[in-house]
A and B are shown apart, each in its own frame.
Chain A
Amino acid sequence: GENVEQHPSTLSVQEGDSAVIKCTYSDSASNYFPWYKQELGKRPQLIIDIRSNVGEKKDQRIAVTLNKTAKHFSLHITETQPEDSAVYFCAASIKRNTGRRALTFGSGTRLQVQP
């Protein structure tokens, strides 16, 4: 199937703690895995992405890891701050019935950082 599964659906952490969100995908030929952040009432915006030729990528407090063999990838946020509170979506470039690839999104994780 053309699936991206995302867990957990909600996550509450204390300020300063780490947060981890995990996704699995079905298409073993997928090569592109972005993560989006959606603040309340706003549009989703890219925060980090990774391609299949790399196992890990880091940008300040945010990192993404990819395990192509197991077909899963994860978002890690360290030293969380209240402004990290949002809904996070993982996505994968999945081949569809048309033979073309398009981004398929997970169901989202609502992260709440408690001050």
Chain B
Amino acid sequence: DADVTQTPRNRITKTGKRIMLECSQTKGHDRMYWYRQDPGLGLRLIYYSFDVKDINKGEISDGYSVSRQAQAKFSLSLESAIPNQTALYFCATSWGRDSEAFFGQGTRLTVV
């Protein structure tokens, strides 16, 4: 089945380290997103991309950067991880405007 795959699934890293979370999809979708989930705060948008050369900031982009290496790949980087970036991170994809978003399995990141 076509899917959205995130790696790693779990990661513990130290404060100040650079870390990359990767997302790949076999759905053939054009749009890809990174969301962060914290208890009681829902899913907040970090960055999104509508095409390979298109990158847009979401509501909480500070401290993060992204790269859309190909239509099927969208990676999220934390340049210098800090403890309040400890969260569950989801990648999602969709096709076209105003359509269902399909989520990856999530990456649980802990910054110590």
A102 B45 Cβ-Cβ under 8 A = yes
Contacts of B45 in A (CB 8 A): 102-104
Cα–Cα distance between A68 and B77 once the two chains are bound (Å)? 38
Stretch binding the partner chain, chosen from B13-21, B22-30, B63-71, B97-105? B97-105
Contacts of B41 in A (CB 8 A): 107
Given contacts A32-B99, A43-B106, A101-B98, contact A89 B43 (CB under 8 A): yes
Query: What mask results when residues 39 to 63 of chain B are scored 1 for a CB within 8 Å of chain A, else 0?
Result: 0111111001010000011110000
Stretch binding the partner chain, chosen from A45-53, A58-66, A76-84? A45-53
Cα–Cα distance between A31 and B97 once the two chains are bound (Å)? 10
Contacts of A97 in B (CB 8 A): 57
**Closest CB of chain B to A3's CB: distance in Å?**
10
B42 A96 Cβ-Cβ under 8 A = no
Cα–Cα distance between A107 and B59 once the two chains are bound (Å)? 14
B33 within 8 A of A: yes
Cα–Cα distance between A98 and B61 once the two chains are bound (Å)? 13
B58 A106 Cβ-Cβ under 8 A = no
- From DSSP, what is the main secondary structure of chain A's interface residues? strand
Number of interface residues of A (CB under 8 A): 27
Given contacts A43-B90, A102-B48, contact A93 B98 (CB under 8 A): yes
B42 A107 Cβ-Cβ under 8 A = yes
A43 B103 Cβ-Cβ under 8 A = yes
B100 A105 Cβ-Cβ under 8 A = no
Cα–Cα distance between A96 and B45 once the two chains are bound (Å)? 11
**Closest CB of chain A to B1's CB: distance in Å?**
13
A6 within 8 A of B: yes
Besides A32-B98, A102-B45, A105-B35, 10 more A-B contacts (Cβ < 8 Å) are A2-B59, A31-B98, A46-B100, A51-B98, A93-B97, A102-B48, A103-B94, A103-B101, A104-B59, A105-B42
Q: Which of A's residues lie within 8 Å of B, judged by CB?
A: 2, 6, 9, 31-32, 34, 43-46, 49, 51, 89, 91, 93, 96-98, 100-108
